[in-house]
């Protein structure tokens, strides 16, 4: 806990990555993903039945754990407005016998043929006075792991005074190694490292305890 803080306190640790060659490090980087839980996420408040009927769930239904039919597809509506504006991307889109225009000051994210593909693929839905893109939960179960790891905590059952939690080491290893790589272990806890290695499914990694090599 920071002492003498006058404003919003910042709590957290930083991982420092070192590399002699930044370009080589970028080639070695392995993007990790995390499984998302949409169970109580109000954004995923639509379902599509087998016959194509789309139903919007109420807030109470979501909070009470509404049981989605087995063959239904859960989806959310996302904005079609791109980050930058282009006057050439302002045109009517015919959807369900009606011409739809982007909001004032906005444009479509793709040319007419691209918008038509969305119409033909049934990937558009109306929300109020505007069109939205349909994003199905199936195929969107994972999100990229970014710099904020809010699901990690300090090490438990520590062996050293200063020790990093298993989950943090696991992620660091998986982000920068491949099966068959040689990993130098600065600690002597080889059995524990081997246990983690096997649980990650990367049995090809070879871990060398540096502390032992120095004796």
Distance CA 178, CA 126 (A): 45
Q: What is the pTM of this model?
A: 0.56
Q: Is the dihedral of CA 204, 30, 152, 210 positive or negative?
A: positive
Task: List, for residues 122-143, the tens digit of each pLDDT value.
Answer: 999 999 999 999 998 887 777 7
Confidence of residue 9 (pLDDT cuts 50, 70, 90): confident
With 90 as the cut, is the pLDDT of residue 35 above it? no
Give the three-state DSSP class for 11. Answer: coil
3-class SS string, 111-139? CHHHHHHHHHCCCEEEECCEEEEEEECCC
Q: Which of 19-23, 169-173, 204-208 has the highest mean pLDDT?
A: 19-23
Spatial CA neighbour of 114 closest among 88, 84, 150: 88
Tell me the Ramachandran region of residue 6: left when phi exceeds 0, alpha when psi lies from -120 to 50, beta otherwise.
Answer: alpha
Query: Percentage of residues in the chain with pLDDT exceeding 90?
Result: 30
Q: Is the predicted pLDDT of residue 146 greater than 70, yes or no? A: yes
pLDDT in the model for residue 215: 40
- Quickly state the pLDDT bin for 12 (edges 50, 70, 90): confident
Alpha helices (runs of H) in 121-189, residue ranges in sequence order = 166-176
Would you say residue 118 has pLDDT above 80? Answer: yes
- Residue 196 burial (C-beta neighbours within 10 Å; 0-12, 13-18, 19+): middle
Q: Which residue has the higher pLDDT, 109 or 41?
A: 109
Return the pLDDT at 6. 75
How much is the pLDDT for 211? 46
Instruction: Give me the pLDDT at residue 84, please.
Output: 93
Mean pLDDT of the chain: 80
- Residue 180 backbone zone (phi > 0: left; psi -120 to 50: alpha; other: beta): left
Residue 9: Cβ within 10 Å count: 9
């Amino acid at each position: 806990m920071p002492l003498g803080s006058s404003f919003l306190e910042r709590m957290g640790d930083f991982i420092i990555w070192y590399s002699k060659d930044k370009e080589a490090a970028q080639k070695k980087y392995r993007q990790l993903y995390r499984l998302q839980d949409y169970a109580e996420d109000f954004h995923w408040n639509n379902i599509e039945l087998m016959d194509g009927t789309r139903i919007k769930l109420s807030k109470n239904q979501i909070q009470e754990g509404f049981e989605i039919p087995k063959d239904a597809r859960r989806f959310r509506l996302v904005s079609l407005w791109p980050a930058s504006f282009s006057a050439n991307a302002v045109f009517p889109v015919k959807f369900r016998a009606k011409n739809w225009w982007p909001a004032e000051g906005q444009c479509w994210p793709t040319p007419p043929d691209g918008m038509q593909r969305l119409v033909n693929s049934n990937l558009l839905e109306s929300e109020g006075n505007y069109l939205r893109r349909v994003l199905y939960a199936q195929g969107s179960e994972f999100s990229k792991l970014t710099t904020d790891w809010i699901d990690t905590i300090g090490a438990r059952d520590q062996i050293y005074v200063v020790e990093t939690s298993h989950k943090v080491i696991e992620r660091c290893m998986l982000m920068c190694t491949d099966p068959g790589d040689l990993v130098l272990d600065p600690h002597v806890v080889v059995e524990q490292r081997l246990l983690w290695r096997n649980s990650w499914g990367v049995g090809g990694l070879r871990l060398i305890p540096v502390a032992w090599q120095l004796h």
